[in-house]
């Protein structure tokens, strides 16, 4: 049995007629940039995420960049980020001229460890970017408390966790202004690049709208040095169709995770994901850990099973950050995760038989 790491087949089959209709309406309307499809999606996504506003932008990295700008983060500032995040979190901090300061994750949840945050705060610290990694909500109570105490802005990176909750409240609704991605493979994915910022602060939302559109509110009048970081009309129209299915598709991801947990329960060589009591997980990725990761990945590949590593090199050890004075073993939790993590096939529509086959191959590898 061939089992890819990710398949769009089930989702695309479900929505094909609606997507074709959305495309036809878009085509017939001949309005390509910042029209009613973007407005409608923004309203729908704000409603979904329970925030006052959502502002559609070009992708998740640009959403982080705009969010940091709106939060007033700039040159000379320090921003606390998880040491085991995707590079985008670091890059956005660098774009605004600030310095990313890595903080190690909790080894059980893989999310930034709130107990280590305060030790990393200096007089230059201006913000924290919690990343709800793999789809599990961070401990937002602890993070917001520390942020308030030190006067820090919070910008959630919600690229992997659409619909996840902490104490029944949605990720992407805690921070002052938050960023998300609709990259095709994300839980809510466009048919190309797309992203959004979410916020309860209507002044910040307006600022984000100005920044994404050349720093302009009135055409050809520019208030500031803005960007071209707009969400496409046609992607917005497609996203509105997919958003309606998100809860149902998240339930299918959770069902697959339950099967994985069950079938791997007696496999003492692998560590399965663990979710904190107050958190929910939307399983953007189902990540296991084993010291024999590379050999296991090879075994699975030889048996037709696709896997990926999120992520093989932590940002502080990337070539791009070599000028920052980071050293090997400076963030050992992130480095150990990079050596041991493996993301198994996960998508809405993966069957119990497929999960049984993947876990069967894992059992046979270890026996
Ligand atoms: C995907 C992702 C991003 C960036 O999103 P793009 O749309 O690819 O720019 C940022 N942060 C995290 C945690 C991500 O997973």
* Minimal-distance CA residue to ligand 1 atom 2: 159
pLDDT band at 1 (very low <50, low <70, confident <90, very high): confident
For β-strands 153-154 and 165-166, DSSP reports them as: unpaired
Write the DSSP symbol of residue 177: S
Mean pLDDT across the chain: 98
How many residues are given for the chain?
A: 367
The percent of residues in the chain predicted with pLDDT above 70, rounded, is 100
Side-chain half-sphere exposure of 36, counting CA atoms within 13 A: 5
Return the pLDDT at 58: 98
Q: What spacing in Å lies between the alpha carbon of 233 and ligand 1's midpoint?
A: 20
Q: Which atom of ligand 1 is nearest to the CA of 131?
A: 13
Return the pLDDT at 362: 98
Instruction: Give the span between the Cα atoms of 227 and 317, in whole angstroms.
Output: 30
Tell which residue, 112, 102, 65, 50, has the closest CA to residue 80. Answer: 102
* Minimal-distance CA residue to ligand 1 atom 12: 159
| pTM score, whole prediction | 0.98
Q: Are the C-beta atoms of residues 212 and 226 closer than 8 Å to each other?
A: yes
Measured CA distances, 119 to 16, 80, 114, 142, 150 (Å): 51, 11, 10, 14, 12
Q: What spacing in Å lies between the alpha carbon of 186 and ligand 1's midpoint?
A: 8
* Minimal-distance CA residue to ligand 1 atom 7: 60
What would the two tokens of residue 108 be? 């059980």
């Amino acid at each position: 049995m061939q089992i890819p790491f990710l398949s769009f087949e089930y989702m695309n089959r479900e929505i094909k007629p609606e997507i074709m209709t959305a495309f036809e309406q878009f085509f017939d309307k001949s309005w390509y940039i910042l029209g009613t499809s973007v407005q409608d999606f923004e309203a729908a996504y704000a409603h979904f995420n329970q925030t006052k506003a959502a502002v559609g932008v070009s992708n998740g990295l640009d959403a982080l960049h705009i969010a940091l700008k709106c939060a007033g983060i700039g040159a000379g500032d320090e921003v606390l980020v998880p040491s085991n995040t995707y590079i985008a979190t670091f890059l956005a901090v660098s774009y605004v001229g600030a310095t990313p300061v890595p903080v190690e994750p909790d080894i059980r949840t893989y999310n930034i460890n709130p107990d280590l945050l305060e030790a990393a705060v200096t007089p230059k610290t201006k913000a924290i970017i919690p990343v709800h990694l793999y789809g599990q909500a961070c401990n937002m109570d602890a993070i917001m408390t520390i942020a308030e105490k030190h006067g820090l802005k919070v910008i959630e990176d919600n690229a992997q966790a659409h619909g996840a909750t902490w104490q029944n409240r949605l990720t992407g609704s805690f921070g002052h202004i938050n960023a998300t991605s609709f990259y095709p493979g994300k839980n809510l994915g466009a048919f190309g690049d797309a992203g959004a910022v979410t916020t309860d602060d209507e002044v910040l939302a307006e600022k984000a709208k100005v920044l994404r559109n050349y720093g302009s509110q009135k055409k050809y009048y520019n208030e500031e040095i803005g960007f071209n970081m707009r969400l496409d009309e046609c992607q917005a129209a497609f996203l509105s169709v997919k958003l309606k299915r998100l809860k149902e598709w998240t339930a299918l991801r959770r069902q697959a995770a339950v099967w994985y947990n069950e079938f791997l329960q007696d496999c003492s060589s692998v560590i399965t994901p663990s979710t904190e009591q107050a958190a929910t997980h939307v399983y953007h990725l189902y990540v296991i850990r084993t010291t024999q990761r590379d050999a296991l990945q090879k075994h699975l590949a030889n048996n037709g099973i696709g896997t990926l590593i999120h992520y093989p090199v932590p940002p502080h050890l990337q070539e791009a950050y070599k000028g920052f004075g980071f050293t090997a073993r400076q963030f050992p939790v992130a480095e150990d995760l990079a050596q041991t993590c493996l993301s198994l096939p996960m998508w809405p529509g993966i069957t119990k038989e497929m999960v049984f086959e993947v876990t069967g191959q894992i059992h046979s590898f270890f026996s």
